[in-house]
Structure 1
Amino acid sequence: KAEFALQKVQMQELTDKGMVFDRFAVAYAAGYGFGFISGTFAIVNVLSDMIGPGTIGIFGHSQDFFIATALFRDTHNARYIFEYRI
């Protein structure tokens, strides 16, 4: 009962302000934000590896390490964006 009443009050307030609450839009925005922040923090680690000593890809390792990492981060971010859609 309490949750129904709170939801009714919330919807009334949103309607008075001319706003529409769409839970799919909120889930999409939350997933997009989480994916963006996650990707940002993850790519900082790769960038620090790229400029630091003992960088992977210089002596005998694959030269495509950073390209592969960038593609992995892009797919990982896309997964976060579309995973949180309810």
Structure 2
Amino acid sequence: MLIMLTFALQLVKILYMVQQLYLLDFKQGMPIIEQTKKRKIFCYIPLENMLIGNVRNRITSSNGDWQKLLASTSQPLFRY
């Protein structure tokens, strides 16, 4: 009985994590984390930009220049 209860609890945890990933990917966009020397820069790239082109190529082509990254995406949301 205890084994079945722990298995059910693990299943609920997995389903909750999948639901959170679904909400993250399809509501807010793709999370991108850039670690700098002083702080961690965290932004969401909306899904409309992911469909237009490859976001990873845009980030690597910007070489850490956030002005170029802003110019290549229509509306990223930054959090510091």
Q: Shorter-chain TM-score category?
A: 0.3 to 0.5
Normalising by structure 2, we get a TM-score of 0.38
- Higher share of residues assigned strand: 2
Name the structure, 1 or 2, with higher relative contact order (CA <8 Å, separation 6+): 1
- Higher share of residues assigned helix: 1
